Amino acid sequence: MLSARNISKSFGGSQALRGVSADFHEAEVVALVGENGAGKSTLLKVLSAVHPRSSGEATLDGASYTPRNQREAEAQGVALVFQELNVNRSLGIAENVMLGHLRDYRRFGLIDWKRLHADAQRILDRIGADFRATDDIHRLDLGRIKTIEVARALATNPRFVFFDESTAFLNHGEAQRLMSVIRELKAQGIGIAFVSHHMHEVFEISDRLIVLKDGALVGDWPTAEMTEERLAELMVGREMIGGLFPQRGGPSGGPVKVELRGVVTASGVGPVDLAVAAGEILGIGGLKGSGGESILSALAGAEAIDAGAMLLDGREYRPGHPAEALSARIAHLPGDRTGEGVITEFSVLENLTLAARPVKSAVLSDRRRMMALATEQIATLGIKTAGPEAAVGALSGGNMQKVVLGKCLATAPEVLLLNNPTRGVDIGAKAEIYRVIRKLASDGLAVVMVTEDLPELLGLSDRVMVTRKGRVAKVFGHGTEPNEEEVVKWMM
Amino acid sequence: MDDVKQAAKSATAHERSTLDQVRQWFPVGLLLLLCLGFALTSDRFLTVNNGLIILQQSAVLLVAAVAMTFVIVSGSIDLSVGSVVALSALAAAALSPEMGVWAILPAVGIGVLCGLLNGLLFSYGKIPSFIVTLGTMVIFRGLVLLYTKGAPVSITDRDFLLVYTGRSLGIPNAVLIAIVATLIAAVIFNHTVFGREVRAIGGGERVALLSGIRVDRVKLWVFVLCGALCGLAGLLQSARTMAATAQLAQGLELDVIAAVVVGGTPLTGGIGRIRGTVLGVLIIAILSNGMNMTGVDPYLQNILKGLVLIVAVFLTIDRSKISIIK
Q: Which residue has the higher pLDDT, B298 or B195?
A: B195
The pLDDT tens digits of the residues spanning A330-375 come to 999 998 888 899 998 899 999 999 999 989 888 898 999 999 999 9
Q: Which residues contact A111 (CB under 8 A, 6 or more apart)?
A: A102, A105
| DSSP classification of residue B192 | B
* pLDDT score for B9: 42
| Average confidence score pLDDT of chain B | 88
A2-236: CATH topology is: Rossmann fold (3.40.50)
Do B274 and B185 contact (CB within 8 A), yes or no?
Answer: yes
| pLDDT band for position A129 (cuts 50, 70, 90) | confident
The pLDDT tens digits of the residues spanning B56-83 come to 989 999 999 999 999 999 999 999 999 9
The pLDDT tens digits of the residues spanning A160-200 come to 999 987 776 666 667 778 888 899 999 999 999 998 867 77
Q: Which residues contact A310 (CB under 8 A, 6 or more apart)?
A: A258, A259, A260, A261, A263, A298, A299, A316, A317, A318
Closest residue to A302, CB basis, from B10, B195, B210: B210
Peptide bond into A413 cis (omega under 30): no
B194: distance to nearest CA of chain A, Å? 8
- Which residues of B are less than 8 Å from A342 in CB distance? 204, 207
Do B287 and B308 contact (CB within 8 A), yes or no?
Answer: yes
Closest residue to A355, CB basis, from B5, B192, B212: B212
Going from N- to C-terminal start, the domains of chain A cover 2-236, 256-491
**pLDDT above 50: residue B134:** yes
Closest residue to A322, CB basis, from B3, B196, B209: B209
**pLDDT above 60: residue A261:** yes
Give the CATH number of the domain where residue B127 resides: 1.10.3470
| pLDDT band for position B224 (cuts 50, 70, 90) | very high
The answer as to whether B45 is a domain residue is: no
* pLDDT score for B106: 96
| pLDDT band for position B3 (cuts 50, 70, 90) | very low
**pLDDT above 50: residue A488:** yes
Closest C-alpha among A339, A340, A370, A338 to residue A357: A370
Q: Does domain A256-491 have CATH number 3.40.50.300?
A: yes
**pLDDT above 60: residue A248:** yes
B245: distance to nearest CA of chain A, Å? 39
The pLDDT tens digits of the residues spanning A368-420 come to 999 999 999 999 998 888 889 888 887 877 889 999 999 999 999 999 999 99
Instruction: State mean pLDDT over A229-255.
Output: 69
The pLDDT tens digits of the residues spanning B256-294 come to 999 999 888 888 888 899 999 999 999 999 998 999 888
Tell me phi and psi for residue A323, to 5 degrees.
Answer: -60, -35
Other CB atoms within 10 Å distance of the CB of residue A4 = 21
Instruction: Give the HSE-up count for residue A483: Cα atoms under 13 Å, Cβ half-sphere.
Output: 9
Instruction: State mean pLDDT over A236-261.
Output: 72
Asked if A302 has any chain B CB less than 8 Å from its own CB, the reply is yes
Maximum mean pLDDT: which of A99-103, A483-487, B171-175: B171-175
| pLDDT band for position B239 (cuts 50, 70, 90) | very high
The pLDDT tens digits of the residues spanning A442-486 come to 999 999 999 988 888 988 999 999 998 889 988 988 777 788 778
Helix (H, G, I), strand (E, B) or coil at B250: coil
| pLDDT band for position A252 (cuts 50, 70, 90) | low
* pLDDT score for A246: 83
| pLDDT band for position A38 (cuts 50, 70, 90) | confident
CB pairs under 8 A between A and B: 94
The answer as to whether B153 is a domain residue is: yes
* pLDDT score for A169: 62
Lowest mean pLDDT among A81-90, B67-76, B238-247: A81-90
Residue B100, phi-psi category: left (phi > 0), alpha (psi -120 to 50), beta (remainder): left
Lowest mean pLDDT among A57-66, A70-79, A282-291, B123-132: A282-291
The answer as to whether B47 is a domain residue is: no
Task: Quote the number of domains for chain B.
Answer: 1
Instruction: State mean pLDDT over B38-46.
Output: 86
The answer as to whether B14 is a domain residue is: no
* pLDDT score for A480: 77
Q: In chain B, whose CA is at the least distance from the CA of A300?
A: B210
Looking at chain A from residue 326 to 345, which residues have their Cβ under 8 Å from any Cβ of chain B? 326-327, 332, 334, 339-345
Distance CA A471, CA A291 (A): 7
Residues of B with CB under 8 A from a CB of A: 1-7, 9-10, 13, 191-197, 199-200, 203-204, 206-214, 270-271, 321
Percent of chain B, pLDDT > 90? 65
Q: Do domains A2-236 and A256-491 have the same CATH topology?
A: yes
**pLDDT above 80: residue B231:** yes
**pLDDT above 90: residue B104:** yes
Contact check, Cβ <8 Å, B209/A364: no
Contact check, Cβ <8 Å, B3/A345: no
**pLDDT above 90: residue A257:** yes
* pLDDT score for B2: 42
* pLDDT score for B259: 93
* pLDDT score for A362: 85
Owning domain of residue B115 = 55-315
Instruction: State mean pLDDT over B312-324.
Output: 65
* pLDDT score for B318: 64
* pLDDT score for A240: 37
